[in-house]
Amino acid sequence: MASTAPFPVARGVASGVCAWLAGYLLVYALAVSAVRSSTLAQLIGATTGGEDWRLVGWLFYSTHFSESTVPELFGGETINLVSVMTGASVLLLAIPPSLLVLAGVAVRAGGPTLPTTTAATHGLAVVLGYLPAALLGGIVLTVGTSGVSAGPTPFSVIGLVGIAYPAVFGPLGALIGNRL
């Protein structure tokens, strides 16, 4: 008979925050040179005062299919940097799901085997760390210029980056971790 375990809040928070930080750092390591050499990124940076680390952050959020608002110079529209920036590899799109699956594994690994639905529910604990990190990151990555802000759109930061991605991939990892 399978045993039960309390909802892993602390593990969820820790693994979610670690997944977000590792994702940003990995995208930074793999893409900062592409950002520095991209004409589009240089133009956005010059217009917004955005430094490389901020533009890489926009790219990191774009790997979650989150869009960023760009200044009026670009029509004030939203863009996904992965799709428009030359030199940014589509392989970057695999970083968030992979790290969130690992975070879900970390939530469940080493604990007692739980029923499948309970284990998957425990994987939702990853949201408890990833969502606050995504919100804080969204705030830090936003640049204000002449009353206009540029950066990740709030709806996509909350809905896609903070909730949807960890709510899908965290439970998947928890199911794997439940079997380890």
DSSP code per residue over 3-26 = ------HHHHHHHHHHHHHHHHHH
First to last CA, the chain: 17
Q: Give residue 170's Cα distance to chain centre.
A: 12
pLDDT of residue 87: 54
**How high is the pLDDT of residue 1?**
44
The pLDDT, as a whole number, for residue 38 is: 73
Tokens of 161: 């980056």
> Residue 77: CA atoms inside 13 Å, Cβ hemisphere, count?
6
Q: Give the C-alpha separation, 48 to 132, whole Å.
A: 25
- Say which residue the tokens 């928070």 belong to: 13
pLDDT computed for residue 99 by the predictor = 98
Which residues does the chain have with pLDDT short of 70? Answer: 1-4, 40-41, 43-50, 71-76, 83-88, 145-148
Find tokens 């925050």 and name the residue. 17
Q: Residue 149, SS3?
A: strand
Given this model, what pLDDT does residue 82 score? 75
Contact 52, 35 (CB under 8 A): yes
Contact (CB, 8 A) for 103 and 126: yes
What is the amino acid identity at position 82? V
- 61-78 confidence digits (pLDDT tens): 999 988 887 766 555 677
pLDDT of residue 64: 94
What residues form DSSP beta bridges with 150? 143
